[in-house]
Structure 1
């Protein structure tokens, strides 16, 4: 018994010795590292990695998703803060804070989180490693944010889908677009990313799963995992793709989702739009705008027939005309918010605020212009005037051609191009060049210079009147005169004024204009102040415009001016309450005038009582007795049948959602509305041809481009 006990004791000691030896060996192995030495001395307790539970991955997914959205928002916000702007307020934390607005909650921040999250989920499934996919997402967000910052700093314009075309065509010159101090921004971005990487590495060390989301242990499980991953790539990808393709189409589920979540397009200013609605939401809205329905008979053969039809019409028209449009300098003056206050229903004023322009209209081609806007939409009227195309032909999803259409067009014919070399096309606008992406678009239109407050070509005269924040019309006209006088060539000048832009807050001293209601309900205090301030500004414009024409009269070269108000100011809240006032609140004043050196001074053409800006170039040619291209011949015939045309209109300040249903507004030569169903066969043919022409130029295959359709004889 004693021997057996002794044997067991010996075996026990032997086992203990082996265990002790193993521990000592491990300790010796660990002692080769600093951590091992510390643990051997009892300083640090080893932290064993544990597999992260699924719920923790979910929490981290949301946090890093929000981080990516925040990085994108910081990119546009910092870029905007580096530029002093006049047009838009800074959004700042309101991008998130407006979710908690009790009166009008807005969840566009969550829409951005949803869209980024969809991409994030697809990345996770592709890599199947949380700690690889997440750095890729954050890196992409930082790169995009830096690009946004650079572009906004240089051009005060957010990244647009059309910029992808630039990457294809001119990617090698990207370094030339770096602003001053770009290296500091890049270093800061790298530092931020390094911090994120440190966090990811630490979390990866703590996670025994090493971020692996699917861990099949046998062939059957691995096959099921592969199918699940594939579905979780395809489904988010399909959602994102369908959203991108449909969010710009009125009536689509994607447009409905964006609207419900609080997307409020602010497309006059791409930077403000990106800040207000999030860079990704603002970008996606412009990826695939629906321009217009493809005409059922659109083809190269059909367009050849259209060309032949209006080549013959041009020949007939030109047989009796003697001059050329480009033998004169032509100046388009878009006068901001200019209209006759005395025509506003239910309003009485103490005196006439436009007596001199009223007299000018009596002695030259003039009338009323049907505007698609009320209180806004300037760039759309401007676009129609420069192209001869009509917003009435576009799908209601296309709210702003300057943002949604022009940047991506391969061919953009505009009337200034008839004057030949770009040096003969000059634009002037005493405000920010970035508004409506004008700086980019005017370059594409073929203008050699576009003079604004923010450059790169800075307008020479910038005087304001009393307390007004806007450059006066007199100063804008003086800058225009200098451009006319210093050129020996005939030119096309596009002038967009700002003096009468809203708001209107008692800017002018010694204002003796008054307004009152004739409906029995007094005007509100704010409405009355706005109207009376606007009247004073209108009277100042009246004087400045007449003085401008007097100075043009003294210049010894033929000059023709096309002057028009783009829309009524959105200040007539009493009149706008009555839906029957819609048409009256969309009629502004226009005239076509020629100086003494022109053979067409005092000319008054027939059928000018009503018009819309798409017809101005054809009317100017008729006023000047100038020969026309097939395109201008078409516009001439179209205007004879339909005096004015615009999309459906409403008597409220219009945002960036057009009326999705309802007939376009067509007026006859007396200003009476026309029903499309009542058009005669010739008018129907002209309207069908208009849609074919407009589709080919904007969304088709440009069959007209090399046909001479736009070429003057």
Structure 2
């Protein structure tokens, strides 16, 4: 009896201890292993998070078969710049992936399941990034989400030849990680369960709250990160995000694929005008239909009876107009003479050292960046891919076969290959195809195709066929940087401010001057070739922005306007009745007005839309959003005013506008909103139709 009592007393405490452990879900007969402590989950969470970020970065940085013309592979520098440059954009990517990871943890309530899913998705997306960069030199964009619907089959276009190697590497990496997770799970007595209460209501409520919190933070970041001066934007910039939207691959390499992607998810296009409606837009269309009839009564030609050539000359401007700079000789005598004999002037540019595609977009659309919200910094990436209606001036020439584009560089830059197809161009000839530009000669040590080669390629398109065409040429010869490329360069530059130019600045300016001279000669030869044709051709030539090499001049804010004025002219060949025409109100302009000015120069009839632009230009010579002296600066100045210039190039205040000018500006915003963010009411009218 005493022996039995002694045994019972000995066993009972052990039984109670075991029972408590069972109740705490620490040890059970089925799960004999101890649960991992919380800090282990924390460490593994960070490790798996970093693995996903690394995989995504490798995806956009590991292309090997394509020659990357626009940017270097970032690689380890994405991480190392934390201690070399104080740039923590890597941490920003880790935070964003962590938010997605937390969502999965609360959704599944299992650490190991969520980890498998986040790693699988990360590796899959990284592989797709690699394939897309390999094939198109373009990172995954929000517009690609359309492939997840009815266009899923088009995802196959991202897969290059020899993709099996990448697929096997991705599968191998995932298999190793999966095996590691399964082993860890086996030894985890908790089996990765996050919320462990047996109270179902409390369990679900806790998980819901912890699920909604990261969803809310991630959603708010995506909604506001592209809005200048927002909290999300400031946070992103503080950690080192430097938007580089001219090149989606470089942007993803430099800032991380996830950051680059989220930046483009929700740009605010425009505020909806308070009176926007179908009825209002019909009134706008009718108003400028009447204006078009008035203009057309005195015009005798048709715009499409001529071939029109737009030449966006990369970084072309007059070095002698740079404040505080003295040059030893004129680098653009031919273009100066051309300007003196035809419609010409100075163009207000929103860029300095970059931003080419924004000027290009305004020239092709007739729309103004001044009307967009500051969060819309690059229409080619943030707007055009999702637009349902993209009316551009080339479409006035009818079928796509009559619209040709030439750009001796990467077709994916600014997503041009996709956008030009959407604009209605049948061919867009570039270095990388699918339509490869024919002539690709370079000058001396320059890494860029010469302007002469660009012109020669376009000449073949201009001469081909009997129909008139719209031709778009975007040159590359004078693109930055400038490093003593040219032989026998006798140009010199010096400062007149008393402070000598730095060695790098002087070298860049002198190399650039020689490039301007070469462009000057090639442009004159191009116009001579057009003069020899028996078909009417009109050329709209303009420099998109100044090169970002004038560091001395840009230090003075008083030089801001001068550093945003480039040269332009509108010229017609001998076969045109408009050769030698000089229109009024041409001294200053911006690219959104070029098509209306070309019609005026050609004495050509206009559509209601062109009639509106004609009237707008008569009141405001040039207009651009706030500009900054930063190379490839995609920030708008939140507190800045749009820049409006009068016919003498003087800034105008909106407070001083007369009633008619205010009405025109209000109509411009209505028109632009309807085309870009509204319901496209104008599409069903004759607003864009030539008589």
TM-score by length of 1: 0.91
Instruction: Identify the residue that residue 160 of structure 1 maps to in structure 2.
Output: 141
Superposed, which structure 2 residues align to 1:284-299 within 5 Å?
284-299=262-277
CA distance in 2, matches of 1:168, 1:641: 47
The structural deviation recorded for 1:172 is 3.1
Q: Which residue of the other structure, out of 216, 224, 231, is the alignment partner of 1:246?
A: 224
* Partner residue of 1:204 out of 167, 172, 185: 185
Structure 2 match to 1:74: 58
Judge conservation of contact 2:350–2:624 (CA < 8 Å) in 1: yes
Deviations 1:467-492 (A, max 9, x none): 11111111111111111112221110
**Which of these residues, 527, 534, 554, is aligned with residue 576 of structure 1?**
554
Tell which deviates more after alignment, 655-664 or 112-121.
655-664
Check conservation: 2:128, 2:158, Cα contact below 8 A. no
Inter-partner Cα distance in structure 2 for 1:325 and 1:53: 76
Shift of the alpha carbon at 1:348?
A: 1.4
Q: How far apart, in 1, do the equivalents of 2:345 and 2:356 lie? A: 19
Shift of residue 68, structure 1, vs aligned partner: 1.3
In the alignment, structure 1 residue 122 sits paired with structure 2 residue 98: no
1:621 to 599, 614, 632: 599
Unaligned runs of 5+ in 1: 13-45
- For 1:442-521, what aligned pairs fall within 5 Å after superposition? 442-521=420-499
Structure 2 residue aligned with 1:228:
206
Distance 2:444 2:557 in 1: 36
- 1:534-553 matches, within 5 Å, as 534-553=512-531
Measure, in 2, the Cα distance between the counterparts of 1:177 and 1:261: 32
User: Is the 2:31–2:189 Cα contact (8 Å) retained in structure 1?
Assistant: no
Which residue number corresponds to residue 25 of structure 1? none
Offset from partner CA, 1:304-353 (integer Å, 9 cap, x none): 11111111111111111111111110000011111111111111111111
String of CA shifts for 1:231-267, please: whole Å, max 9, x gaps: 0101111111111111111122111111111111111
* Matched residue SS, 1:81: coil
Question: Structure 1 residue 423: deviation in Å?
Answer: 0.8
Q: Give the Cα separation in 2 of the matches to 1:175 and 1:651.
A: 42
Residue pairs, 1:425-436, within 5 angstroms: 425-436=403-414
- After superposition, the CA RMSD in angstroms is 1.7
Deviation at 1:100, TM superposition (A): 1.1
- The reply to whether residue 612 of structure 1 matches residue 579 of structure 2 is no
Among 72, 83, 92, the residue aligned to 1:89 = 72
Partner of 2:572: 594
Q: Give SS of 1:451's match.
A: strand
Identify if the C-alpha distance between structure 1 residues 176 and 531 changes in structure 2 by more than 3 Å, giving closer, same or farther.
Answer: closer
The structure whose Rg is larger is 1
The question of 1:214 aligning with 2:220 is answered: no
Note if 1:683 corresponds to 2:661: yes
The one-character-per-residue Cα deviations of 1:264-302 (angstroms, maximum 9, x if unpaired) are: 111111011111111111100000011121111111111
Task: Provide the C-alpha distance between the structure 2 equivalents of 1:614 and 1:600, rounded to a whole number of angstroms.
Answer: 21
* Shift of residue 652, structure 1, vs aligned partner: 4.0
Cα distance, 1:304–1:348 mapped onto 2, change above 3 Å: same
Structure 2 equivalent of residue 63 of structure 1: 47
TM-score under structure 2 length normalisation: 0.94
1-structure distance, mates of 2:366, 2:360:
10
Any conservation in 2 of the 1:603–1:623 contact (CA below 8 Å)? yes
Which of residues 522, 535, 541 is equivalent to 1:563?
541
Look up the match of 2:246.
268
CA distance in 2, matches of 1:555, 1:92: 52
In the alignment of these two chains, the number of paired residues is 667
Shift of the 255–652 alpha-carbon distance from structure 1 to 2, 3 Å rule, reads closer
Q: Is the 8 A contact 1:215 1:222 kept in 2?
A: no
Q: CA deviation at 1:653?
A: 2.8
Where do 5+ consecutive residues of structure 2 fail to align? 8-29
Counterpart selection for 2:290 from 312, 333, 338: 312
Residue 74 (structure 1) shift: 1.5
1:217-244 deviation line (CA, Å, top 9, x unaligned): 4xxx332222111101011111111111
> SS of 1:552's equivalent?
helix
* C-alpha displacement of 1:520: 1.9
CA contact (8 A) 1:388 1:614 kept: yes
Q: What per-residue deviation string (whole Å, max 9, x for no partner) do you get for residues 547-604 of structure 1?
A: 1000100011010000001111111122112211111111111100001111111111
Partner of 1:182: 163
1:403 aligns with 2:377: no
| Equivalent residue, structure 2, for 1:328 | 306
Alignment of 1:95-134 (within 5 A): 95-101=78-84, 104-134=85-115
Q: Distance in 1 between matches of 2:302 and 2:570?
A: 16
Q: For residues 516-535 of structure 1, what are the structure 2 equivalents within 5 Å?
A: 516-535=494-513
User: 1:202 Cα deviation (Å)?
Assistant: 0.5
* Residue from 401, 404, 424 that aligns with 1:423: 401
2:12 aligned partner: none
Q: Is the 1:204–1:210 contact (alpha carbons within 8 Å) kept by the matching residues of 2?
A: yes
1:368 equivalent in structure 2:
346
Taking the aligned partners of 1:198 and 1:463, their CA distance within structure 2 comes to: 54
- TM-superposed deviation, 1:661: 1.8
- Rounded Cα–Cα distance in structure 2 between residues aligned with 1:675 and 1:419: 37
Worse overlay, 428-437 or 512-521: 512-521
* Distance in 1 separating the partners of 2:455 and 2:322: 28
For residues 328 and 594 of structure 2, the distance between their equivalents in structure 1, rounded to whole angstroms, comes to 33
> Aligned equivalents of 1:317 and 1:529: distance in 2?
50
Return the offset for 1:47.
Answer: 11
Is 2:636 the counterpart of 1:658? yes
Deviations 1:353-391 (A, max 9, x none): 111111111111111111111111111111100000111
Partner deviation per Cα, 1:388-424 (whole Å, 9 max, x = no partner): 0111111112111111111111111111111111111
1:40 — aligned with what?
A: none
Q: Partner of 1:394 in structure 2? A: 372
In 1, distance between residues paired with 2:93 and 2:641? 35
- How far is the alpha carbon of 1:48 from its aligned partner? 5.0
Please state whether the residue corresponding to 1:636 is helix, strand or coil: helix
Of residues 217, 220, 233 in structure 2, which corresponds to 1:255? 233
Going from structure 1 to structure 2, the CA distance change for 1:236 and 1:650 (only over 3 Å counts) comes to closer
Distance 2:147 2:124 in 1: 17
Structure 2 Cα separation of the partners of residues 169 and 416 of structure 1: 30
Question: 3-state DSSP class of the match of 1:705?
Answer: helix
8 Å CA contact 1:581–1:651 kept in 2: the answer is no
Cα separation, 2, equivalents of 1:504 and 1:91: 22
Q: Determine the structure 1 residue equivalent to 2:20.
A: none
CA distance in 2, matches of 1:188, 1:467: 39
Q: Is the 8 A contact 2:626 2:637 kept in 1?
A: yes
Q: Once the 2 structures are TM-superposed, how far is the Cα of residue 622 of structure 1 from its aligned partner?
A: 0.7
Deviation string for 1:595-622 (max 9, x for gaps)? 1111111111111111100000000001
Say if 1:503 and 1:678 are closer, same or farther in 2 by CA, change over 3 A: same
- 2:287 is equivalent to residue 303 of structure 1: no
Distance 2:227 2:630 in 1: 22
Q: Report the CA distance shift for 1:47/1:287 in structure 2 as closer, same or farther (over 3 A).
A: closer
